[in-house]
Structures are given as C-alpha cells and as structure tokens.
C-alpha cells in the first residue's frame, strides 16, 4: 500500500498543495496533520506508523513535513528499514528503495535540519532586535467591546457569522477562537 503524510505547522495553513502532489503519486491513504514540526506528539504520524507493513511505501512532499530533526528523521528511516518500507520525499528526490537514495536521504536530512536551525536563529535574532527597539511580537489584542458584542450577537442567534464579522471587524477565525474559549 502507498501511504502519504502531509503536515502544516498551524491551523491557518492549508494542506491542499501537499495533498495534490501526493495524489499525483497515486497515494492510497493520506494522513493529514496541522501541528508544529517541533511537537513530538503527532497522532496521525503515529497512526500511520502503526499501520505500515513490509512492502508498503510512505510518500511525503518534503523531508521537513515528516520529522522534527535529523535525529527524528533517521529514527523514522530506521523504523521504515526494519519494517521493509520504502520512503519517498518528492521535493527532495529521495527514494530509499535504492542505495544511492538511502545515502542521499541521510545527507538531505542533515541539510534540512541545518536549514531549520538557521531559520530559528534568524527569527530569534530578529525578535531580539525588535524588542530592543521597543516592539513586541505576537498577535495584537482585540478590542474587548467588539469581542463582547460579537459574542452577544452570536448567542442571540439572530445574526449570521458574516454579519457578525462585518459589524465587529473581527475575522471568522478570531470569532471562532473566542467562541471556543467561552464554552
């Protein structure tokens, strides 16, 4: 069986482009997750790993979609090898059914981790520089009056979500986040 695994880091991000590419590889079952790559707990990845059998293939769009570090990627690779599973990373040109593919896989895993570490370092440096200039990061706070009005409008059941968001200036995602908090 050919399994696919697609992951994005946040709820706001979209899996569609990864899924489209995976489907072009005739993947029979796609496991999808919206969780940051640094999280160890990934339920869909664990579920997929439990279902793998000798002769199966796992396809991902890119190496950094399946692992959180080179060490984790190599551990997954070792599990694939123990079970007898082929691993393909489309964007990175990795196919572990060949000796060269196995070698290339390990080199690419190291490069992917290096790239991730560099991005983290740059982000930290940028945040530090912004703080030194008095700027704060993060999502700006919403006006409490607008949030309360949106919640009241929703609870009245007289308004559509579109009417609420237009009247208050809150986005749909923000509105749903506040509704979830108030349950």
**Per residue in 137-157, pLDDT tens?**
777 777 888 899 999 999 999
**Structural domain of 74:** 2-117
- For the segment 74-99, the average pLDDT, to the nearest whole number, is 88
d(CA 70, CA 55): 24
Whether residue 74 lies inside any domain: the answer is: yes
Candidates 9, 17, 69, 89; catalytic one:
9
Distance CA 75, CA 127 (A): 32
Interhelix angle 144-156/172-181, rounded to 10 degrees, is 80
pTM of this structure: 0.57
- Count of domains forming the chain: 2
Residues 6+ apart with CB under 8 A from 57: 1, 2, 3, 85, 86, 87, 88
Catalytic, 156? Answer no
Highest average pLDDT, of 60-64, 69-73, 92-96, comes from 60-64
Flag whether 56 is in a domain.
Answer: yes
Share of the chain above pLDDT 70, in %: 97
Tally of CB atoms within 10 A around 31: 21
Q: Are 105 and 20 contained in the same domain?
A: yes
User: Is residue 175 one of the residues assigned to a domain?
Assistant: yes
């Amino acid at each position: 069986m050919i399994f696919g695994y697609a992951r994005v880091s946040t709820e706001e991000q979209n899996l569609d482009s990864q899924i489209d590419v995976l489907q072009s590889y005739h993947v029979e079952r796609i496991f999808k997750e919206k969780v940051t790559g640094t999280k160890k707990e990934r339920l869909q990845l664990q579920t997929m790993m439990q279902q793998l059998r000798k002769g199966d293939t796992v396809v991902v769009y890119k190496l950094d979609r399946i692992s959180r570090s080179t060490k984790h990627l190599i551990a997954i690779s070792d599990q694939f090898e123990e079970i007898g599973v082929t691993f393909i990373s489309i964007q990175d040109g990795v196919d572990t059914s060949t000796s060269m593919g196995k070698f290339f896989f390990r080199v690419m895993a190291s490069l992917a981790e290096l790239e991730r570490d560099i991005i983290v370092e740059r982000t930290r440096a940028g945040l530090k520089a912004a703080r030194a200039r008095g700027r704060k990061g993060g999502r700006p706070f919403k006006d409490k009056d607008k949030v309360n009005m949106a919640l009241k409008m929703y609870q009245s059941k007289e308004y559509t979500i579109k009417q609420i968001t237009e009247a208050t200036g809150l986005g749909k995602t923000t509105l749903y986040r506040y509704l979830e908090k108030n349950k």
